[in-house]
């Protein structure tokens, strides 16, 4: 049987990471032979959908169980329905986690939690690890953010104010539609959308267009759609993206109106 774990190094002595989407490596181990494969995980600045990408890789490599510190409930439910076992609150060395899995320790833990009707308390080491990973993610994000700021100058050169105002004409409907369409084509860390959004506002683009761009950037991902389809199925993935896009078109006027901003 193969099990998958997010780890900080490509070997069995690595530490099991808390989240799939921010782990340095994905380790898939054969519990009978201890043979393993390690693939590099998403970067520390990956945006939404990175966890789904890692799970898709694990399933593609034949994993029948996923061991990690935390996994989003909706992903866990979908995987469990597909026969993939999910074991949470795993910490320590990958080798030790494999041995615990072989001995059935996780089975006894899950049975005890089910009898008591509650989950085990969060270990202090998980909190420390979470803060350390957050700090690394922030440091890793800085070069990207600086690069976006520098690229803003090029953006202004290639897309002068006249060209933008011709597309974004301060009409609430069309600005919302064009902004949402632009957002689904972009990729990168969501924080970058704040920098680009401010630049667009300074160049005369209305608040509806900028709001739609930021919402669709975060909520709709054509770039990550193949990975989402691989994990959650085509019907769910396409339906979620279409529904989110339509909700954005409805939400933008409401958000702008409640904020008291100008269209």
Evaluate whether residue 129 is within a structural domain. no
Q: What is the per-residue pLDDT for 250?
A: 92
What phi and psi, each to the nearest 5 degrees, are found at residue 29?
A: -120, 135
Do 104 and 23 share a structural domain? Answer: yes
| CA-to-CA dists, residue 208 to 28, 159, 176, 199, angstroms | 45, 19, 5, 14
Which run of H or of E encompasses 2? strand 2-7
Evaluate whether residue 148 is within a structural domain. no
42, 83, 93: which is closest to 62 by C-alpha?
83
CB of 12 closer than 8 Å to CB of 31: no
pTM of structure:
0.45
Domain that holds residue 204: 159-259
CB of 79 closer than 8 Å to CB of 72: no
Q: What is the per-residue pLDDT for 29?
A: 93
Q: Kindly give the parts of the chain with pLDDT less than 70.
A: 42-51, 107-130, 133, 140-165, 186-192, 261-263
CB-based contacts of 73-80 (< 8 A; 24+ apart in sequence): 75/51, 75/231, 75/232, 78/231, 78/232, 78/233, 78/236, 79/55, 79/231
Give residue-wise pLDDT tens across range 45-65.
Answer: 455 566 677 777 888 888 899
Q: What is the per-residue pLDDT for 116?
A: 45
The CATH number covering residue 68 comes to 3.30.420.130
Evaluate whether residue 125 is within a structural domain. no
Number of compact structural domains in the chain: 2
Do 102 and 183 share a structural domain? Answer: no
Give residue-wise pLDDT tens across range 217-231.
Answer: 888 877 778 877 877
């Amino acid at each position: 049987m193969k099990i998958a774990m997010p780890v900080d190094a490509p070997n069995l002595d690595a530490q099991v990471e808390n989240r799939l989407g921010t782990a340095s490596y994905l380790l898939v181990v054969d519990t009978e032979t201890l043979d393993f494969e390690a693939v590099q995980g998403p970067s520390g600045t990956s945006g939404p959908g990175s966890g789904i990408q890692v799970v898709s890789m694990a399933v593609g490599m034949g994993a029948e169980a996923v061991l990690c510190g935390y996994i989003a409930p909706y992903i866990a439910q979908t995987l469990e329905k597909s026969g993939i076992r999910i074991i949470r609150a795993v910490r320590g060395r990958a080798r030790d986690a494999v041995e615990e899995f072989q001995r059935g320790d996780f089975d006894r833990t899950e049975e005890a939690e089910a009898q008591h009707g509650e989950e085990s308390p969060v270990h202090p080491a998980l909190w420390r690890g979470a803060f350390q990973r957050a700090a690394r993610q922030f440091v890793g994000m800085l070069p990207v953010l600086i690069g976006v700021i520098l690229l803003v100058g090029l953006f202004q050169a290639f897309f002068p104010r006249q060209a933008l105002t011709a597309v974004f004409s301060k009409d609430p409907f069309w600005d919302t539609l064009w902004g949402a369409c632009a957002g689904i084509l972009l990729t990168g860390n969501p924080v970058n959308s704040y920098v680009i959004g401010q630049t667009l506002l300074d160049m005369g683009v209305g608040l509806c267009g900028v709001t739609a761009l930021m919402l669709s950037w975060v909520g709709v991902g054509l770039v990550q759609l193949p990975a989402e389809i691989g994990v959650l199925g085509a019907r769910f993935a396409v339906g979620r993206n279409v529904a989110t896009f339509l909700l954005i078109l409805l939400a933008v006027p409401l958000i702008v109106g409640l904020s008291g901003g100008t269209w």
